[in-house]
Every structure is written in structure tokens, then in C-alpha cells.
């Protein structure tokens, strides 16, 4: 969350604001998969209240940024503001800008953090995959100074790491699916979906389809190396078409970097019985606990 807030609105210097934004964003995200009953005390109601608070806080931020044109931060908010002031671009209202900021932060927060949590869990449960990941990343670290950072070429060469991220994402199926509206009558296998209907594409199903992913319940990162699954027409881990996730590479990059430093420094052992709930959202309600040791 802190990373996304930094990329989107550079709030890291203001700890109080960051904390408030973080809490409100989290409350909104909790309300996504709830029954929409707007009664005091329900998660949905708390989500609506948190959203109103977010709109207020972000409205103030937009106002301040507009006023201080010369001290801009070069983050996503600045880019949106610059575009909104450019007469060649579609003019956006403050309300639209705030909506976009909320969408960026929320879509970049839950997704990457849940996949990361699950990748660590799957790697713990599959030592062979963990060893292979360590081998690839130790090779990348070889010859680098002590306080190194990864560069783009390093990232591009992390093919097994990428496979681990995609496999963790496939197995986890966060978000359950996505929505589309038919623009014409559409026939699929003899069934007609009339124009204007909303269709829910269940990625929980497509991600476990044995035709695309043989032995779908097995955590097998190697499957991504063997065939070009990422360009398969049923590859929908990040949605598809015109609304494909715009943060796809950023999400994979964040998780890959974290895994690089984790796996080249530590091995990890689960402590106690960690519970993972998969519906309506993937979460570890009591946290996931690991004991780390140097490797």
C-alpha cells in the first residue's frame, strides 16, 4: 500500500496523511465483496463512509498540487494533472481525477500484496520450486556489490521468478473474475447472450481449466516455461482486451523484486497452523507467520 501511495501521490513525506489514506483505502477494499446493504455498522456502509473521506482528502491534495505548479512530484497524480491541463487532452474534472487515483491505489494494492503472500506460502509448501527460484536469483546476484539494486536486464532474465508469480496468481485467482457488457447479440455454444447484458467472466474457472493448465490443482511454475501460456487466448490472469490491467508488469515486477531479496537471503518455515480464507476474498485473517533463517 505504501509503495502504491508513493507511486501515485508521493505521500510518503506526510506520515499522518499516508496513514489516514491507507486506513480509508483498506476499509473501501473490505467493502468490495459484501452484500450491498447500506445500514449503519455493515462493512458496505463503512466502505461508503471511507470513500467519502478519501474523496475529501484527495480533493485537498489535488487542490494543493494545482496551486503549487512549480513544486510538482512527477508521480501518477502529476501526470494526470498535467494531462488535464493540456488542451489537446480530454479535460478531466477533479471528481474524475480523484476516481482515477482511488482506482489506481486500490487495484495496485490488494492484488500484488495477496499474490505475494500466496507466492511465499506456495514456495514454502513446494521446496523444489523454492530451490529453483533461489538458484536463478543467486545467479543474478553473482558478482554484484553488497548493496546492489536490480536493474531492468536482471528483471528480464528472471524467467523462473516470473513463472512463480504467474503460477501463484493462477492458483490464487484473486478477484474471482471480471465483468463485460455485450454490445451485440452474442452466440456461444448455441446460447444467445442478448445485447446489453452484463457477463461475469469467472477466472476462478478459466484458471483451473485442465485443457489449458494440465493438473490444474498442482502448483507447477515450470508449466509457464514449457509452453507460451502468456500469449494463450485463455490467459486472463490480468483480464483481457481493451481493459487489460494496466499495472500488469508493475505488479509482476514488485513481486519479483521482493522474492529476489527474500530467496537469496532467507529460507522460511511456517509457524503454527496458518489459516487462509478464499472466499469472498483471499486473506489470512490471523496473519501468516514464518520463522526466517539465513541461507
Give the residues lining the site for ligand HEM (CB under 6 A): 4, 103-104, 107-108, 111-112, 115, 169, 174-175, 178, 237-240, 243-247, 250-251
Least spacing, CB of residue 45 vs ligand HEM, in Å: 25
Least spacing, CB of residue 163 vs ligand HEM, in Å: 14
Which residue, 3 or 193, has its beta carbon nearer to ligand HEM? Answer: 3
Which residue, 160 or 178, has its beta carbon nearer to ligand HEM? Answer: 178
- DSSP for residue 230: G
Least spacing, CB of residue 184 vs ligand HEM, in Å: 19
70 is known to lie in a ligand binding site = no
Which residue, 22 or 141, has its beta carbon nearer to ligand HEM? Answer: 22
Least spacing, CB of residue 139 vs ligand HEM, in Å: 24
Dig out the grid coordinates for 250 from the structure: 508493475
CA distance 20 to 26: 10
- DSSP for residue 277: B
Q: Which residues contact 39 (CB under 8 A, 6 or more apart)?
A: 45
Which residue, 81 or 115, has its beta carbon nearer to ligand HEM? Answer: 115
Taking residue 92's Cβ as centre, other Cβ atoms within 10 Å add up to: 16
Which residue, 36 or 246, has its beta carbon nearer to ligand HEM? Answer: 246
Least spacing, CB of residue 243 vs ligand HEM, in Å: 4
Strands 186-188 and 191-193 come out as antiparallel
The dihedral built from the CA positions of residue 21, 27, 29 and 32, taken in this order, carries a sign that is negative
DSSP 191-202: EEE-TT-EEEEE
Burial annotation 156-171 (CB, 10 A radius, 16+ → b, else e): eebebbbbbbbbbbbb
CA distance 181 to 223: 32
Binding residues for heme: 245
Amino acid at each position: 500500500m505504501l509503495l502504491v501511495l508513493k507511486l501515485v501521490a508521493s505521500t510518503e513525506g506526510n506520515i499522518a496523511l499516508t496513514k489516514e489514506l491507507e486506513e480509508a483505502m483498506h476499509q473501501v477494499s473490505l467493502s468490495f465483496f459484501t452484500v450491498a446493504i447500506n445500514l449503519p455498522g455493515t462493512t458496505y456502509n463503512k466502505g461508503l463512509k471511507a470513500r467519502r473521506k478519501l474523496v475529501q482528502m484527495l480533493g485537498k491534495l489535488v487542490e494543493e498540487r494545482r496551486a503549487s505548479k512549480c513544486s510538482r512530484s512527477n508521480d501518477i497524480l502529476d501526470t494526470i494533472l498535467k494531462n488535464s491541463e493540456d488542451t489537446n487532452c480530454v479535460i478531466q474534472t477533479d471528481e474524475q481525477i480523484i476516481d482515477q487515483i482511488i482506482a489506481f491505489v486500490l487495484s495496485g494494492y490488494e492484488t500484488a500484496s495477496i499474490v505475494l503472500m500466496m507466492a511465499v506460502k506456495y514456495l514454502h509448501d513446494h521446496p523444489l520450486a523454492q530451490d529453483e527460484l533461489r538458484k536463478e536469483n543467486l545467479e543474478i546476484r553473482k558478482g554484484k556489490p553488497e548493496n546492489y539494486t536490480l536493474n531492468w536486464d536482471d528483471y528480464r532474465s528472471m524467467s523462473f521468478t516470473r513463472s512463480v508469480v504467474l503460477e501463484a496468481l493462477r492458483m490464487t485467482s484473486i478477484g474471482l473474475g471480471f465483468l463485460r457488457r455485450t454490445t451485440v447479440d452474442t452466440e456461444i455454444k448455441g446460447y444467445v447472450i442478448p445485447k446489453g447484458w452484463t457477463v461475469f467472466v469467472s477466472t476462478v474457472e478459466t484458471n483451473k481449466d485442465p485443457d489449458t493448465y494440465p493438473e490444474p490443482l498442482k502448483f507447477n511454475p515450470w508449466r509457464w516455461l514449457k509452453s507460451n501460456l502468456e500469449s494463450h487466448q485463455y490467459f486472463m490472469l490480468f483480464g483481457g482486451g481493451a481493459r487489460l490491467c494496466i499495472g500488469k508488469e508493475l505488479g509482476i515486477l514488485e513481486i519479483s523484486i521482493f522474492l529476489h531479496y527474500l530467496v537469496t537471503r532467507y529460507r522460511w518455515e511456517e509457524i503454527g497452523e496458518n489459516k487462509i480464507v478464499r472466499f469472498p476474498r483471499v486473506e489470512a485473517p490471523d496473519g501468516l507467520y514464518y520463522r526466517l533463517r539465513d541461507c
